[in-house]
Structure formats: C-alpha cells, structure tokens
Amino acid sequence: MTDLAAKLDRVVEHLRTAKRITALTGAGVSAASGIPTFRGTDGLWKKMKPDMLASPEAFAHDPKLVWEWYDWRRRHVRDAAPNGAHDVLARWSRERPGFTLITQNVDGLHERAGAARLLRLHGSIWHVRCAQPCPAGAVEWRDETVPFPTLPPRCPHCGGFVRPAVVWFGEPLDPDVMTAAAAAAACEVFFAIGTSAIVYPAAGLVQAAKRLGAFTVEINTEATPASALVDVSLRASAGEALERLALRISGSHR
Ligand code: NAD
C-alpha cells in the first residue's frame, strides 16, 4: 500500500463516523478547471502583485485597469467547468446535513457544481455593487455580463462606477459569514483543500479546528504552513484525493 493510500484510509475511518465535517477550499481546487491560483507554481501573482489590482487603492487609482483584469477573469471562468473536486464537495454538501463548505474562491465553480449552504468568505466575481454611496447603497447584485461593453461598468442607479463584490486586500470580511465559518470549525473532521493557508483570517480556521479537537486534513500539491499542523497532509491534487476518498467511503474503490 502506498503512503497516500494509507493516509486516505486513515481519513476515511474518521469520515465514516463523523457527523460534523467542514471543508475550507482555496484556489487550488479550481486549478484543474484551468483557473490560475495566486501563489502556486503557476500562480497569477508570479506575474502581477496582488495589491496592484485587488485593493481599494488600486481601484481608486485605475478602475479601468482593475476592471480589465476582472473582466478577463470572468471570461476565463465562464469558459471553464467545475472539476471532480467541486463535484465531490458539492455531493457531500447535499447529502450530509452536517457538512459545511467554506470557500475563499470567488469564481462560482462550487455553486455551478451544485454546492449547498456555501459560505463565501471573499465574495464572488459574479456579484457587483456600487463603488460609492448611492441609492443602491452597499447592496450587491448579480451581474453575469461578459464582457462588459464599456469598462468600468456603470451603476444603473447613480451612474457612478460599480466594483466587483469581492473582498479586496485590506478589506474586512462579512462578519456574519466569518461567524458562521468560525462556528463550523467546531467539527469532527476539518479539511483545508488547495489553499496556501497564509491568508488570514481564513487560514486561522485550520488552527481553530485543531484547537477544538477536529481531525484535521490538508489536501495540497505542495507543502504549506498548515502541513506541519494538521493530522494528515495529503500531497495530491484536490480532484484525485477527493475522488479517491469518495470511492473509499462508498466502498467501491480498488
Ligand atoms: P493560493 O493561490 O494562495 O494557493 C493555492 C494553493 O493551491 C497552493 O498552496 C497550491 O500549492 C495549491 N494547489 C495548486 N493546484 C492544486 C491542486 N490541483 N490540488 C490541490 N492544491 C493545489 O490560494 P488561496 O489560499 O485560496 O489564496 C487565497 C486568495 O486567492 C483568496 O482570497 C482567493 O479569493 C484568491 N483566489 C481565488 C481564485 C478563484 O476563485 N479560483 C483564484 C486565485 C486566487
């Protein structure tokens, strides 16, 4: 038996009896769908600095440039499809009442795979809101226009610029979403999947889960700061590890 197979069996032992399971996902889960990660070997940020584009300062300085980047990402994601990792997580979220899916991803692929009760920590690139105070206020709305005919797109209420309803660097997370995510860290099995585990407060959820007694599992193609902390670190792609776990749970592997 390979090292990975033995580790998968250990995780399955815990999954079989666990009532409360939580999974935190990051950009690595969408890598097999062709969506670039920020910090992996092919990471987007290898070519561009994050604060040059994903920050309130960047938007104030050059909203058109920021929107060109988001417009490109929306086009790229629209043409992509959920992969096996999204499918397994979506199935677990629908079939296991105690399963909570938390994502840092903004691409909407968990939703397209049919995930239930998804907690989006960093918002969605498919939602926008007015960038200034206006009658629409801070209320976001879904807009799937791809590409926008003119950039930056304009608010239908006040004519000012709209911005992507995502959490940019230096911005706070939605407190209700964060509270729900923190509550879900109190579970029996906690997965950190395809995340570099360095962006807080999301990364702190792994530590919280461990402290609260969860059996913690990392799935990542590379080592991260969480690797030494977790009970089992699976060095594999999200799709391979989750599909093999799903097969083992159903008893039909080999
Ligand atoms: P990250 O880019 O910092 O790290 C990605 C991690 O995934 C790396 O540790 C890498 O080793 C791992 N990885 C790469 N391919 C993998 C695979 N096939 N299977 C398993 N692991 C794989 O991503 P993060 O930790 O989510 O960073 C946080 C920020 O990046 C978030 O704010 C998120 O909004 C943003 N982001 C989102 C997307 C998206 O929505 N798809 C894409 C890029 C960045």
Q: Report which residue type is found at 81.
A: A
Contact criterion met (CB below 8 Å) for 155 and 139? no
Q: Which residue has its alpha carbon closest to ligand 1 atom 40?
A: 105
Contact criterion met (CB below 8 Å) for 185 and 148? no
Bridge partners, residue 220, by sequence: 235
Centroid of ligand 1 to alpha carbon of 7 (angstroms)? 23
Q: Is 122 a catalytic residue?
A: yes
Residue in 122, 127, 157, 253 annotated catalytic: 122
Please work out whether the CB of residue 227 comes within 6 Å of at least one atom of ligand 1. no
pTM of the predicted structure, to 2 decimals: 0.94
Q: Which burial class, exposed, middle or buried, applies to 47 when counting CB atoms under 10 A from its CB (0-12, 13-18, 19+)?
A: exposed
Domains identified in the chain and CATH numbers: 1-35+82-122+173-254 (3.40.50.1220), 40-79+127-166 (3.30.1600.10)
What does each C-alpha distance from 158 to 57, 64, 164 come to in angstroms? 22, 18, 16
Atom of ligand 1 nearest to the CA of 25: 26
pLDDT in tens, the chain (254 residues): 689 999 999 999 999 999 999 999 999 999 999 998 876 555 555 566 666 789 999 999 999 999 998 998 999 999 999 999 999 999 999 999 999 999 999 999 999 999 999 999 999 999 999 999 888 777 999 999 999 999 999 999 999 999 999 999 999 999 999 999 999 999 999 999 999 888 788 889 999 999 999 999 999 999 999 999 999 999 999 999 999 999 999 875 54
